Amino acid sequence: MGFFCLFANELTGQVKAESLSAPDPVRMRLVGHLCAILLFSVFSIPRAYADVTLLLQEPYSYDGALAGAGHVAVYLDHVCAASPVVLRSCETGEAGIVLSRYHEIAGYDWIAIPLVPYLYAVERQEDIPLFADAKLVAFLRDQYRRKYLESLAPDRSGGGTPSGDWYMLVGASYDRTIYGFQIETNPEQDALLIQKFNSHSNHKHYSLLAHNCADFAREVINFYYPHAVHRNVIADLGITTPKQIAKSLARYSRRHPELESSNFVIPQVTGTIARSKPVHGVLESLLFSKKYMVPLMSVLILHPYISGGVMVAHFGYPHFDPAQHALVVDSRWQLGRPMTSADRRAYQNELDELVQMEPRLDSSADSSIQGKTWAELQAGAQPEFDSAGTPVVQVRIGGDVAKVGISRTNVLNDAGSSKLAAKLLAARIQQELRPAMALKSASGDVASDLALLRQLLSPEPGSGLAGNFPPPENSIKRGHTPTAMDLKR
């Protein structure tokens, strides 16, 4: 108190001369008011904060076609990794790690991966590709593995890429749409979690029925908030599922409004990789999967008690839609609103006009690329990194090779490949505007992509700033623009 009042006395030197010449009681009142203002300011400084975010991931491939359970991981924004299996506190500017339980990866139970590589298999947000195919994703994953994950997935003899599930450690957003459910924590809780994970054994613990990825996420969330999330014995037959953990956390957040929380969607990267499927619980998978539909209906018809139980379990609980009221994480790592129907129509009209007015998209002096879509061109291209370490693809045009930048930072770099880059942008925008994708695409990103396309089709491609678009309605970060993806309100 004495320090603040001393500082207040110094501040009175800035008061008007007539105030300083006032009687002592008046001057003392001025000092007292300044003390009160300073104390109020000090105690109004926001407390240290952190967040834990559940990342609910849609299923794909066989899981999408059969069970549909998906995957779940936990993102901690103030916890980082000294190695994939040793945790530490984050330093300034670091974006935290994603923790998850995996099956058959070097014998470990859990592995920690930095956020941007976990989502995109690149180290920097500016390197994220605008359009991805299987060849590019395999290249990015393998390059990151060779640099950081050799201890978990060493080369085959001869230096080849190993098989196994290690690929699940990086590049999740190429395969899946991901829903985030965030709730605030504090650094003290993070420190205790770091101590717990570093002091306990980290050996393989996975089992589908009792120790799966959802069980791991449940343990982490309940470490911060005991009994916050739980399995559903009836609807999921006692198995912990990713969707149930997300549903529990969303419900807990609603019951505790004093804890800041939010939910959002991280879109699947546009490209030729098959889109992920909606996530289901156990009974939902049985009811909606074509594989199980016929045998299940036979059981339900023959056993009315089972039929009644299934109907009550499924329809007796409120439906949970992870996308409901979710904002979209855009390319600037901020929360933008999804496209409305009016947005989509306006953007589609603009794209159609650009394509019709600009023959550069549909014709070429070289017959090797004339009439080909960007997806066809990229399928025959070779991915690599440019001098700045940002992904590019080498497209063969007759006897020559053109390098095409495929991220927002380098797509405008080479005027000689602007025709190919324009095809890339047109393909990306067209996919963003598909009805099924519109609700998972940030409106500002589509506007940005159209601006890039216009620049590529201008007489002087590459002029201007890449990626300009209107500011989003909600920033992810509290009070400042993040330098890497930081999942905040």
Q: How confident is the model at residue 286, as a pLDDT?
A: 57
Q: Is the pLDDT of residue 388 over 60?
A: yes
**Region of poorest pLDDT, from 82-96, 144-158, 345-359:** 345-359
**Residue 397 three-state SS:** strand
Count structural domains, the chain.
3
- Are 222 and 355 within one domain? no
- Are 280 and 429 within one domain? no
141 within domain boundaries: yes
Provide the pLDDT confidence category of residue 361 given band limits of 50, 70 and 90: low
266 within domain boundaries: yes
Look at 331 and 307; give whichever has higher pLDDT: 331
- Are 322 and 346 within one domain? no
**Residue 233 three-state SS:** coil
345-349 long-range Cβ contacts below 8 angstroms, 24+ apart: 347/429, 347/433, 347/446, 347/447, 347/450, 348/433
Q: Is the pLDDT of residue 194 over 50?
A: yes
The predicted model gives 97-116 an average pLDDT of 94
Q: Is the pLDDT of residue 446 over 70?
A: yes
471 within domain boundaries: no
Edge-to-edge, what's the strand order for the sheet holding 400-405?
Answer: 382-385, 391-397, 400-405
- Are 212 and 97 within one domain? yes
- Are 9 and 54 within one domain? no
485 within domain boundaries: no
**Region of poorest pLDDT, from 65-69, 272-276, 354-358, 395-399:** 65-69
User: CA–CA separation, 223 vs 193, rounded Å?
Assistant: 8
Q: What is the mean pLDDT of the chain?
A: 80
The predicted model gives 263-289 an average pLDDT of 84
**Region of poorest pLDDT, from 4-8, 81-85, 295-299:** 4-8
Q: How confident is the model at residue 366, as a pLDDT?
A: 59
Picking from 327, 357, 384, the residue at the C-terminal end of a domain is 327
Q: Is the pLDDT of residue 56 over 60?
A: yes
484 within domain boundaries: no
177 within domain boundaries: yes
Q: pLDDT tens digit string along 212-254?
A: 999 999 999 999 999 999 988 777 778 899 999 999 999 999 9
Provide the pLDDT confidence category of residue 364 given band limits of 50, 70 and 90: low
Picking from 303, 327, 351, the residue at the C-terminal end of a domain is 327
- Are 228 and 83 within one domain? yes
- Are 153 and 281 within one domain? yes
Provide the pLDDT confidence category of residue 363 given band limits of 50, 70 and 90: low
Q: How many CA atoms lie within 13 A of 85 on its CB side?
A: 17
- Are 70 and 109 within one domain? yes
Q: pLDDT tens digit string along 152-173?
A: 999 998 889 999 999 999 999 9
Residue 52 Rama label (left phi>0; alpha psi -120 to 50; beta) = beta
**Residue 323, domain extent:** 50-327
Q: Give the relative orientation of helices 418-432 and 341-357 as an angle to the nearest 10 degrees.
A: 150
- Burial pattern 53-62, b for ≥16 Cβ within 10 A else e, equals bbbbbbbbee
Provide the pLDDT confidence category of residue 471 given band limits of 50, 70 and 90: very low
Provide the pLDDT confidence category of residue 392 given band limits of 50, 70 and 90: very high
Picking from 327, 361, 391, the residue at the C-terminal end of a domain is 327
- Are 22 and 58 within one domain? no
- Are 37 and 54 within one domain? no
User: CA–CA separation, 152 vs 111, rounded Å?
Assistant: 9
Task: Give the chain's end-to-end CA distance (angstroms, integer).
Answer: 35
- Are 135 and 277 within one domain? yes
Look at 368 and 173; give whichever has higher pLDDT: 173
486 within domain boundaries: no
- Are 274 and 375 within one domain? no
* Residue closest to 410 by CA, chosen among 7, 95, 126: 126
- Given a contact cutoff of 8 angstroms between Cβ atoms, the answer to whether 420 and 377 are in contact is yes
Q: Give the pair of three-digit tokens for residue 379.
A: 């399928």
151 within domain boundaries: yes
